[in-house]
Structure 1
Amino acid sequence: MLTGKKIVLGVSGGIAAYKAAALTSKLVQAGAEVKVIMTPSAKNFVAPTTFQALSRNPVYTDTFDEQDPSQIQHIDVADWADLFLLAPATANLIGKLANGLADDMLSTTLLATEAPVYIAPAMNVHMYSHPAVLKNMHQLDQWGFRFIEPGEGYLACGYVGKGRLEEPLTIVEVLEKEMDKQQLLKGKKVLISAGPTREKIDPVRYFTNPSTGKMGYALARQAKALGAEVTLVSGPVNLATPAGVTRIDVTTAEEMHEQMLTHFPDQDLVIKSAAVADYRPRITYDHKMKKSPGDYVVEMERTRDILAELGERKEHQYLIGFAAETQEVERYGREKLDKKNLDGIVVNNVADEGAGFGHDTNASLWMTKSGQVEAFPLMSKDELAEGILRRAAKEMSGDVV
C-alpha cells in the first residue's frame, strides 16, 4: 500500500534518531519515495548523508538553504507529500506543532502541509507523562493528527517504561494499514451534523441541550481518515475543526435545517448526530427582558424535523440517525429507524455511565434497515465512529453480512 507514496520523514533530536535511518530504509523497500527533513538537533545524532544515501533524495536541514531558486523549499516539500511521518517526535517538536510554532525547516513545513501527519513519539518515560506533553498530544489528536504509540522497554536514559520509539517495521505496518483504510470511503461525499442548537428567547437567554459535539466531530475525523470528502454542519461547540474537513457553523435548528438540506442532494453518506432542539420559543425579543414579579411562561412551537425530511428526500444516500434514550433502547430505536426511513441508526442509552453527552466514550446499539443489530461496548468515540463508518461502508457497497 506504500508503493508510489510520497512520504516526508521528519527526524527530530533524540537518541532514537538512529532508528529513523532503519525506518527510511524500510519505507524505501516498501515502495515509497522518501524525503527527510532533520532538525538541527537531529544532526547531533545522525549525519544527513546517512539519510541521503538511504532515501536517494536530498536531505533538508535549513529553511534558508534553498536548493532550487525557482521554488520556496518548505512550501514545495509540503505540497509534494502524500503523508508526513515524524519519527522520532520529541517533546519539543510535539509542543511546537501543538502551539503553531515554526522556527526551523521541519516545523515550518509541517504548518504548510495539508497531508495527513503521523507522529511517533520518543522520549523519557516521565517526559511522556508530563501534563504539558499530554495536553499537547491531546490537542494534536483533536486536530486529526495520528499517533503511533511508543513502546515500553529500556530507554537510553536508563529508565524502563513507555517512551521508546516504535520499531521501524511496526511503523511501516501501521502506515500500510492506514493507507488501506483510506480506500474504504475514497471518492465518497459524507455530510455530518454535530453539536447542539440554541433557540433564542432574548439576546442573553436561550434554550439548548448538553451536547458537546464530540461524537459528530469524531465521525468527521474518522470519515476523513477513511478517505471521504467531509462536510460538517456544526452547532456551537468548543472543538477544533478536524484537519481536511469543511465546517459550516450554525446556531439554530432552522439554520441547521437549511444547511443540511442544501448539501444533502450530492452526498453519498449522511449522518445526523446533532442534538437539534425539538421546540423553540414562539416569541423572541430583540432586547433583554427585565425581571418582573411572578412566574414567566414561554410558549413553545415545534421546529422542523430535519431527519424526517432527509428520509423523505432520500434517493441514493445512505442515511444514519442518532437517538438518545434512557429505556427500551432497541424498541425506540427500531421505531425511529422505520418512521424516518433511515438506513441505519445509532442508539445511545444516555443513562449508562460513561455514555452520551459530554463524555469521551460511548456505548451504543447499531441497527440497520437490513436487520443488523450490534451492540458496541463502552469505547472511545473515535473507535465507535470508525466502527459505524466501516459498517455503513460495507452496506453501501452491498457487502451485507
Structure 2
Amino acid sequence: MTLSSTRVLLIIGGGIAAYKSLDLIRRLKERGARVRVVMTRAAQEFVTPLSAGALAGERAHTDLFDSKTEFDIGHIRLAREADIVVVAPATADLMAKMAGGHADDLATTALLATTAPVLIAPAMNAKMWSHVATQRNAAQLHADGIAMVGPNAGEMAEAGEAGVGRMAEPLEIVAAVEALLEPRTGQPKPLSGKRLLVTSGPTHEPIDPVRYIANRSSGKQGHAIAKAAAELGAAVTLISGPVTIADPPGVRVVKVQSAKDMLAAVEAALPVDAAVFAAAVADWRVAEPGRQKMKKGFGGTPQLAFVENPDILATTAKRESKRPRLVVGFAAETENVIDNARDKLARKGCDWIVANDVSAATGIMGGDANTVHVVTAEGVDSWPSQSKEEVAHALVRRIADALKDTP
C-alpha cells in the first residue's frame, strides 16, 4: 500500500485519453490512496461523472457553482485537503489556462488554490504538442514547479496520426506520483536498496565488417522494465544491445553488440538482487567472420559455418556464486508458448519465465504491446494484452514483492 492514506485530487481534462483516467483511479486506490475527482465540462463528453465517481467511491465534482458543495467554499476545501493534485489528461487548453493562471471553472480554480504538488500528464495531437504555444506553456509550468509525466510517442486516436502526444499509461502516472510524494511521506520505495540487472534489445553477430545476424527486437520491453525498476527505487544496470530508442533516465547503461559482449557485461555487473533477461540474444554466431567485406560474384554464394552463442540466462541462473536471488528469463515463442516456456524454465534453471507469442499473426515483436504469461514452478499467470510499459510496471511490482523479505 505505497500510497496508503494519501489524498489524491484527480482532475480529468477533456480529451479522448480521459478513458485511461478511470483505470488510473483504480490503480491509485489499489495502492491505498483516497481519490477525489474533478471533471471539466469537456471531460464529461468522454467519460461520465457517474463512472468516475463509482470507481473513486465518492461523487465526482463538476461545477464551480454547485450549491451542494460550495456553501462551505468546496473548491478551496478540495484544493487544500489534497496531498497531491494530478491532471490527467492535461489537454493543450488546460495547460494554457494553468500557465496563464486562469480560474474560470472548478478545475482551474482548485489548481490555483492548492499548495500541494501538482503532476500533469499531457495528452493531445502530436502537432498540438509540438506547437510553439504549447511548448511555451509547458516551459512555464515547469518553471512554476509543476511536475510532468509523458507525453509518450505512438499512434493517435485520429486515423493515420502518430507522434509524441499520447498520455502516459496509468502505471507510469502512479509511479510518478509515488516518486513525487516520497520525500514528503518518508516512505521508502518498494525497491529501495535493491540492485537490478536488466538485459535488453537484440545482439548483432558479425558476418563481416559490414553485415551481421540480428533479430527484430526493439528493446522497448527491456528498457521499460529498467525504467520501471528505477522508478521504484532500484539501482539498475541496463545492458543493451543495439537499439534506436533512448536510454531510460536514472539507469546505468552498458551498451554491447554481440552475445559474448553481453555475457561479459552481465558477469561484470554481478552481484545483484534480481536479474531480468529480456534481451533477444542470437542463438548462433558465425564461426569465422570475414575480415573484409564479402563480395558478390567472387566464389559463388558464401558458406557460413555457425557455432552456438553462450547461454547468458542459464549461465547466470546456474552460478554457484553471485547468483541473483531472483533470475527472470523471457521466452519469445511462435507456437506452444506455455509448454515451451515450461521447458525453458526447467532447462535454464531460472526462477520465472515471461513468455509471449511473437508469431506473425500477433505482430507483437518490436511493437508497443505485449501479451505475456509468467511461468513459475508454482504455475502460470496469464496477463491480458497491455502496453509494454504496463507489462514492465506489473512485472517490476511482482519482483518487488518477491524481494521484500530479503536483506
TM-score band w.r.t. shorter chain: 0.5 to 0.7
Taking structure 1 as the reference length, the TM-score comes to: 0.64
Question: What secondary structure does 2:196 align onto?
Answer: strand
Q: 2:93 aligned with 1:85, yes or no?
A: no
TM superposition shift of 1:300: 1.5
Aligned to 1:286: 291
- 1:365, 1:374 within 8 Å by CA — same for their partners in 2? yes
TM superposition shift of 1:43: 2.8
TM superposition shift of 1:325: 2.4
> Given the superposition, is the C-alpha separation of residues 361 and 94 from structure 1 closer, same or farther in structure 2, using an over 3 Å criterion?
same
Aligned to 1:185: 191
Aligned to 2:203: 197
- 1:231, 1:246 within 8 Å by CA — same for their partners in 2? yes
- 2:220, 2:368 within 8 Å by CA — same for their partners in 1? yes
Question: What secondary structure does 1:377 align onto?
Answer: coil
Please report the RMSD computed on the Cα atoms of aligned residues, expressed in angstroms: 4.9
Q: Aligned ranges for residues 250-269 of structure 1 at < 5 Å?
A: 250-265=256-271, 267-269=272-274
Percent identical: 30
Aligned to 2:92: none
TM superposition shift of 1:393: 2.5
- 1:270, 1:319 within 8 Å by CA — same for their partners in 2? yes
> Given the superposition, is the C-alpha separation of residues 90 and 322 from structure 1 closer, same or farther in structure 2, using an over 3 Å criterion?
closer
TM superposition shift of 1:335: 2.6
Match of 2:81 among 22, 26, 29: 29
Q: 2:374 aligned with 1:366, yes or no?
A: yes
> Given the superposition, is the C-alpha separation of residues 88 and 386 from structure 1 closer, same or farther in structure 2, using an over 3 Å criterion?
closer
> Given the superposition, is the C-alpha separation of residues 91 and 208 from structure 1 closer, same or farther in structure 2, using an over 3 Å criterion?
closer
Q: 2:272 aligned with 1:270, yes or no?
A: no
Aligned to 2:344: 336
1:281-310 per-residue CA deviation (whole Å, 9 max, x = no partner) reads: 121233212122422101112222111121
Question: What secondary structure does 2:371 align onto?
Answer: strand
Point out where structure 2 has 5 or more consecutive residues left out of the alignment.
Answer: 14-39, 43-61, 65-73, 87-94
Q: Provide the aligned length of Structure 1 versus Structure 2.
A: 329
Aligned to 2:302: 296
CA distance in structure 2 between the aligned counterparts of 1:93 and 1:41, rounded to whole angstroms: 20
Question: What secondary structure does 2:282 align onto?
Answer: coil
Q: 2:378 aligned with 1:321, yes or no?
A: no
> Given the superposition, is the C-alpha separation of residues 87 and 276 from structure 1 closer, same or farther in structure 2, using an over 3 Å criterion?
closer
- 1:199, 1:277 within 8 Å by CA — same for their partners in 2? yes
Aligned to 1:45: 102
CA distance in structure 2 between the aligned counterparts of 1:336 and 1:349, rounded to whole angstroms: 15
1:5-27 per-residue CA deviation (whole Å, 9 max, x = no partner) reads: 9x9x9x9xx999xx9x9888646
Aligned to 2:382: 375
- 1:355, 1:363 within 8 Å by CA — same for their partners in 2? no
Q: What is the one-letter code of the residue matched to 1:45?
A: H
> Given the superposition, is the C-alpha separation of residues 223 and 383 from structure 1 closer, same or farther in structure 2, using an over 3 Å criterion?
same
CA distance in structure 1 between the aligned counterparts of 2:256 and 2:141, rounded to whole angstroms: 33
CA distance in structure 2 between the aligned counterparts of 1:23 and 1:245, rounded to whole angstroms: 40
CA distance in structure 1 between the aligned counterparts of 2:348 and 2:273, rounded to whole angstroms: 18
TM superposition shift of 1:205: 0.8
